[in-house]
Structure 1
Amino acid sequence: MWTDMQQFKADFFKALAHPLRIRILELLSEGEKSVTEIQSTLNSEGSAVSQQLSVLRSKNIVVGIKDGKRVVYSLRDPSIIKLLIVTREIFNNHLIDTLSMLEELDEEDTLSKS
């Protein structure tokens, strides 16, 4: 029924389907970071960050490398950065469309009142 590629995409997008995971990916797109750095930047609890990193690790989206007592995380594939950029562009396009509709509604409202 589903191809392997479709299943991969579905699983991949499911792994991204949390705002904290997206924020972690945005941070890692700037370069590798330790768990402590991620926690302090996001001002988030350690358990929440660790839980989300675990999901991202399990789907091979991020990798963690031990550096002494700490673990340093990075994006497994730099194409993730492109995905984040495209997603922002899609968001901006939706926002522009919404603003255009609001302007049209305001114009219609103004015309109907005159």
Structure 2
Amino acid sequence: MHRPLYEVKAEFFKTLGHPVRIRILELLSERDHSVGEILPEVAVEAANLSQHLAVLRRSGLVTSRKTGATVVYALTSPQVADLLRVARSILTEVLDVRVEQLSDLRPGT
């Protein structure tokens, strides 16, 4: 069964819709990380981190490889890091506009 592209995109953005997953992707945008390196950066239980990593793996955003007893995660594409940079840029612009609007509301301006 063929799903419309907008539905597939919505599923993609749902995958990105959790702060822990965004933080994981930000870390992996810098370099590959082991689970042990990611864990203290996301402040969740190991089992919870494992679930988030599994969601990201199933969605095709990250890949994993085993090095001895260590599992190392990486982005599947540098475009994931690009997407995060674009999102940051959009948010910065939106917030700049809101700050400007707030300053217009202040008395004496």
Settle same-fold status: TM greater than 0.5: yes
RMSD: 1.6
Amino acid at match of 1:85: R
Match of 1:31 in 2: 31
How big is the shift at 1:68? 1.2
- Structure 1 unaligned residues grouped into runs of 5+: none
Q: How many equivalent pairs are there?
A: 108
How big is the shift at 1:2? 5.5
Match of 1:71 in 2: 71
Runs of 4+ in 1 over 6 A off after TM superposition: none
Match of 2:80 in 1: 80
Aligned ranges 1:8-19 → 2 under 5 Å: 8-19=8-19
Distance in structure 2 (CA, Å) of the matches to 1:2 and 1:26: 29
- Looking at CA atoms only, which structure, 1 or 2, has the larger radius of gyration? 1
How big is the shift at 1:43? 3.6
Distance in structure 2 (CA, Å) of the matches to 1:23 and 1:41: 8
Aligned residue for 2:108, secondary structure, equals helix
How big is the shift at 1:10? 1.3
> TM-score, normalized by length of structure 1?
0.87
Confirm whether residue 110 of structure 1 aligns to residue 95 of structure 2: no
Amino acid at match of 2:34: S
Match of 2:89 in 1: 89
